Structure 1
Amino acid sequence: MAVKDDGVALNLDPDSARRRAQVRRAALASSIGTTIEWYDFFLYNTAAALVFPHLFFPASTPYAGAMASFATYAVGFVARPLGAAIFGHWGDRIGRKATLIVTLLVMGISSAIVGILPGTAAIGAAAPLLLVLLRLVQGLAIGGEWSGSVLIAMEWGDQRKRGLLGSFAQLGVPMGLVLGTGGMTLLSATLSAQQFNSWGWRIPFLFSLVLVAVGLLIRLSILETPMFAKVTEERKTARVPVVDAIRQHWREILLSAGLRFSEQMPFYLFTTFVLIYVVSRHEFTRTFVLKAVLAGAVCELFAIPLFSHLSDRFGRKRIYLTGSVLTGLIAYPYFAVLSHGGAAPIFAAVVISLFIHGLQYGPQAALIAENFPTHLRYGGAGLGYQLASVFAGGPAPLIATWLLHKTGTPYAISAYIVFAAVVTVGCGLALPNRSQVDIDDAAVYSR
């Protein structure tokens, strides 16, 4: 296949050296781009648990401050489906590459502004309002980022390795978590509480601009994917791709959203809510909990490609649903350990929870994306993936905080996790298995 770059036809046949180089470059662009996006996103998550309650909601009680902070955190998730629709439209109209450059710029700039945003003590009620606005912008960017990053790698490579190639975008989550949480951990451990709360937490947000510059250099060096280039060449792009995706593939979109419940909702409990819960129950410092989350994220760097590769061999649904069942099974032991365990058991519980998350998160990219034809895939897969944010990921810390406050027992949160696992298993069983389908042939999706 020939792909045009600035009007010059390039030889990109499956066995050509140039194509293999593009596959490697696309995989790198996919993983590094999403790493930067999620680095920014997780910085906000960590700050929402540790800094924002007293900086932007100083008059609140600890419970009310945490609820208000997590509410602003949830706003970004509400914006993500809208971002998926907006950027999904352009991703299926003008291409994956150009759209991904825009999402990277939007995310990096909005995060840097958070790093210079004054607190309520300085500018009054405008501070939390601006914080909410910036969180909305972050949510829009993340909403448009995921499917493009998955497709830029998945549509370039060997279709027999779709699970592994799609997982390069998924690696951005643990790598972003390592960088974001690692930066916060380092600053929390080396600065006094007063220094960290006044200016130390701002440094990682401002560092986003450096990472964005690196990401732009890499994304500018890749070509459009052969699959989308073929759609453009044959003039098969849809006029309103997101509308067409909803009309023709609404079932796949809803099932993809439900598929994510046991992956996304517990993940934000395992990485964000845990910071408040463990520190409030024990005498452990926030640095100790951040180190545990950091260790779990490092384990995910190995779990994601491993289980994605296994999904190419044994089927994505089989691997994914195994992870969902395991998530439900650990729900009660997890909070039992967090409530009554010592340092070593708590540390291990946090790490194990994130390793199991990798069992689902790795194969998830291909499992969702391969259910949509090329000309509707950016928007369709993005909507399915991000719709779960409204009902699963975004409200999770908020609901967990409320459940604990109302019931007085963390096992109410365990029941919440089990419910999420049941939803995922049901949707996973209903979703078609297209692990071996040639996704370059839109005819297989025809009704």
Structure 2
Amino acid sequence: MVLGRNEANKVIQAGKTEQRTQVRRAAVASAIGTTIEWYDFFLYNTAAALIFPHLFFPASSSYAGAMQSFATYAVGFAARPVGAAIFGYWGDRVGRKVTLVITLLLMGLASGLVGVLPGANTLGIAAPLILVALRLIQGVAIGGEWSGSVLLAMEWGDQRKRGLLGSFAQIGVPVGLVLGTGGMTLLSFVLSDAAFTSWGWRIPFLLSLVLVGIGLVIRLRILETPMFAAVVAQQRTSRRPVVDAVRHHWREILLSAGLRFSEQMPFYLFTSYVLVYVVAEHHYSKTFVLNAVLVAAALELVTIPFFSQLSDRIGRKRVYLTGAVLTGLLAFPYFAVLKGGGYVPIFLAVVVSMIPHAMQYGPQAAFIGESFPTHLRYGGAGLGYQLASVFAGGPAPLLATWLLHATGTPYSISVYIVLASVVTVLCGAAIADRSRADITDEATYLRA
């Protein structure tokens, strides 16, 4: 599975028919692979909000249980940069394909084990410790997954459509959210609360093992990308790709991380913390809130490719920063609606909140991927993307729970969202927009 020079030359010399076939396969493999990975990840998010507090932390108060559960949730995000570094090294050394097979296996096996893990009443303190270990494995796998999936599609296709092609990996997020949250919604609807809490929530975790098998079949049929194959054929691979990425492109890595603040942090508040806030604070049913999140995710199946294609036409930066500004503008109205209550207003607020997210998340794959040269792209893009997880996505539900408890008002969370938007706008203004640049040319990345 390691790409040699002879195989690299075969990829480069592939005919147009074979290239078209590989582009289609790469796009499908990119979308399906990330769908499976994020299906597993969002299952954990939903369970962390609804199930894990009383299952793994039964002796804690409602507030303490939520804090402890979201702390295990945050652990997975802290592990992501580690995964980006580990798999970034191999992705830029031996190729995108082999790395993506390993990340898929890790994610699926960890999720399957969560599905059979007994609670604290059976295993005692060992139960939450094992849960944390499995969450760490999930985080490492996700950390290595994203950049490989993006590059698989982006480096195979028409370079005038990098935004659209890169978005196939991004589409995996709302599809995974639809499947994961949809599975939980269906089970919570058809089962009694006692049955759902006792064993029903485990079913979607176990089904992930079946999905992993499907994903492996698809990924094993893909050839290495022609861009990376050219690097191998020309013997330009780096011996220390992650070290070189940090040394020569530290600015792009940090700016890429900041670029994600107004996309990632609000997203996990809007899809995970909202379950705690609306259900626990205002006593709406779990099924109602899950349905709202489900519709919001379905909307992104349309809006992510739309805004990605738009970024190919008018530039990544213009589309992206518009989404960041809109996120900040929606912060206070969003929580005003949740606080005021009402089924229709809350439902619409959850759905509408996903539009500015899609404006950023769709073009984001190409925006970050284009910031690094081919021989350092897997590690550089992965580190930039996943560093935001430590400071933005992972702590978001934990800090939101604490802010509401400490201040007594959800508007303190709105301030948190506005600050994230300011960080993104500043970083977005500073990072280069290479929407129309030739990213196969090393000169593109030479600073004046």
Change in Cα spacing, 1:7 to 1:164, as seen in structure 2 (3 Å) is: closer
Mapped to 1, the partners of 2:11 and 2:121 lie a distance apart of 60
Mapped to 2, the partners of 1:7 and 1:366 lie a distance apart of: 26
Q: 1:11 to 1:357 in 2, by over 3 A?
A: closer
1:306 aligns with 2:317: no
Question: 1:356 offset after TM fit, Å?
Answer: 2.0
CA positional deviation for 1:6:
8.5
Deviation at 1:433, TM superposition (A): 1.1
Distance 1:4 1:258 in 2: 36
Match of 2:250 in 1: 250
Letter in 2 for 1:393: G
Partner residue in 2 for 1:292: 292
Identify if the C-alpha distance between structure 1 residues 355 and 209 changes in structure 2 by more than 3 Å, giving closer, same or farther.
same
The two structures, once aligned, show a CA RMSD in angstroms of 1.4
Q: Distance in 1 between matches of 2:11 and 2:364?
A: 31
Q: Counterparts of 1:11 and 1:76 in 2: how far apart (Å)?
A: 36
1:183 lines up with 2:158 in the alignment: no
Tell me which residue corresponds to 1:419. 419
CA-to-partner distance for each residue in 1:231-275, whole Å, 9 max, x for gaps? 001111000100000000000000000000000000000000000
Distance 2:356 2:256 in 1: 19
Unaligned runs of 5+ in 1: none
Matched, 1:173 2:173: yes
Task: Return closer, same or farther for 1:12/1:245 CA change in 2, 3 Å cut-off.
Answer: closer
- The residue that corresponds to 1:43 in the other structure is 43
Counterparts in 2 of 1:289-368, with a 5 A limit? Answer: 289-368=289-368
Structure 2 runs not aligned, ≥5 long: none
Give the aligned residue type for 1:373: P
Q: 1:236 to 1:12 in 2, by over 3 A?
A: closer
CA-CA distance at 1:13 after TM superposition = 6.2
Work out whether 1:230 is the aligned partner of 2:230: yes
CA distance in 2 between counterparts of 1:8 and 1:253 reads 28
Partner of 1:77: 77
After superposition, what is the alpha-carbon deviation per residue over 1:327-386, rounded to whole angstroms, capped at 9, x for unaligned?
Answer: 000000000000103100100000000122111100000000000000000000000000
Q: Match of 2:150?
A: 150
Note the C-alpha offset of 1:280: 2.1
Partner of 2:59: 59
Q: Secondary structure at the match of 2:93?
A: coil
Helix, strand or coil at the partner of 1:207: helix
Give 1:58's aligned amino acid. Answer: P
Residue of structure 1 equivalent to 2:125:
125
| Count of paired positions | 445
What SS does the corresponding residue of 1:284 show, helix, strand or coil?
coil
Report the CA distance shift for 1:224/1:11 in structure 2 as closer, same or farther (over 3 A): closer
For residue 433 of structure 1, what is the aligned residue in structure 2?
433
Is 2:222 aligned against 1:216? no
- Cα distance change of structure 1 residues 11 and 106 upon mapping to structure 2, 3 Å threshold: closer
Separation in 2 of the partners of 1:336 and 1:57?
31
1:4–1:10 contact (8 Å) kept in structure 2: no
Q: Deviations over 1:273-324 (max 9, x none)?
A: 0001011232320000000000000000001000000000000000000000
Aligned mates of 1:124, 1:13 — CA distance in 2? 59
What TM-score does the superposition give when structure 1 sets the normalisation length?
0.98
2:34 matches 1:25? no
Q: SS at the partner of 2:283?
A: coil
8 Å CA contact 1:156, 1:227 repeated in 2:
yes
Residue 387 of structure 2 is aligned to residue 410 of structure 1: no
**TM-score, normalised by the number of residues in structure 2:** 0.97
